[in-house]
Amino acid sequence: MATILLVFIYVFYIGLGIPDSLLGAAWPAMYEELHVPISYASMISVIISSGTVLSSLFSTKVIARLGTAKVTAISTSLTAVALLGFSCSQNFCWLCICAIPLGIGAGSIDTALNNYVALYYNAMQVNFLHCFYGIGVTVSPYLMSRALSESMNWKGGYRTVFYLQLTIAALSILSLPLWKKIKERRQEEAIQVLPLHEMIRRKKIWASCGVFAGISALESTCLIWGSTYLSEAIGLSADKAAAKITFYFAGMTIGRLLSGLLSIRFSDWKIIGMGQAVILAALLVLLTTNDVTFAAGGLFLIGLGNGPIFPSMTHLTPILYKKETSQSIIGIEMAFSNLSIMLTPVLFGFVSNKAGVSAFPVFLIVMFVFLLGCTAALKIGDAGKQKRIV
């Protein structure tokens, strides 16, 4: 029965990934039709991420009260409604309004499912969970590229994805009795809600949050600006750029699949190190060529290397800290992750206005150096202090 529930959770995590890659894939067509500057993608991204950050910060109290199952059903339904709103948008202001429930819905389900699987399943299953997120973010830009190539209709792309998300939301509601049966059989960890002021006093937690921020900086920059980079700097049309950006998401998915298998033999820390080595190689490729094939290959390798780091860090959280406080720790880690998702595309939007979209590879290198520094600080701190204080 626990295995059946895990399959459902995998499907729900596809639903988490579906909305995340749509805006970046569709934006080259959207901003022209809406008659807004190209940098306005950052404004929508900020609104989505603001909702996600707030949702993540308050998620522990909500999950403690409602439970993971109900939070999952409510959050998935909320994102489906938001996608329907995007598909009906007639102007930029309406997009901004629909971005609010999209962000709020994503934050709680991300925190809830990450902690649940990290607590009750092994490292391989945590990696596979995030592999299914990769499926979600890979499928949706592909569907959008089909809609753009057939009719240049981004609204039709959003409508197609809405139907897919609606199906997942229905499954999350139908699965509620299964969650209840599992809870009755399993001795689940009591959730200890840690005050925010107590968590931010811990240097170790700051290092953890920094790693998640670095991972998300790389991911969100590729998510929001990768398609635009391929279109504006490399010279691809909007529909072809939307199709090529799926290489990044395919790399992420494959990376998480491989890391799940590698976790049988290698520790989370070793998988994180291998992933960062692949990212370094990818950035060198992007920095040294403007060829379409190499650019797509570089994005694929960034996804391949960056993809496994997030689930490996998630699985490490109940190990680095106490199990009963892991929900609170993961909540603040997800908040910093989403804060990075919110701010990084805005920062690159500013950079692109000054230096052009061609600055994309250099910007990614700066974010990667930040990720390396936080990873080193966390690993050194954990090695020097084994006592779990929170």
Please check whether residue 389 lies inside any domain of the structure.
no
Please check whether residue 390 lies inside any domain of the structure.
no
CATH of the domain at 123: 1.20.1250.20
Provide, rounded to the nearest whole percent, the portion of the chain with pLDDT above 70: 94
Please check whether residue 184 lies inside any domain of the structure.
yes
Directed axis angle between helix 92-120 and helix 2-17, to 10°? Answer: 150
What's the pLDDT band for 213 if we cut at 50, 70, 90?
very high
Q: Residue 72 pLDDT > 70, yes or no?
A: yes
pLDDT number for residue 301: 94
Number of domains in the chain: 1
Q: Residue 96 pLDDT > 90, yes or no?
A: yes
Average pLDDT for 295-306 = 91
Task: Name the residue range of residue 203's domain.
Answer: 2-384
Please check whether residue 98 lies inside any domain of the structure.
yes
Average pLDDT for 162-183 = 91
Span of 118-127, 150-159, 185-194, 205-214 with lowest mean pLDDT: 185-194
Q: Residue 241 pLDDT > 70, yes or no?
A: yes
pLDDT number for residue 383: 59
Q: Residue 389 pLDDT > 50, yes or no?
A: no
Please check whether residue 197 lies inside any domain of the structure.
yes
pTM for this prediction? 0.76
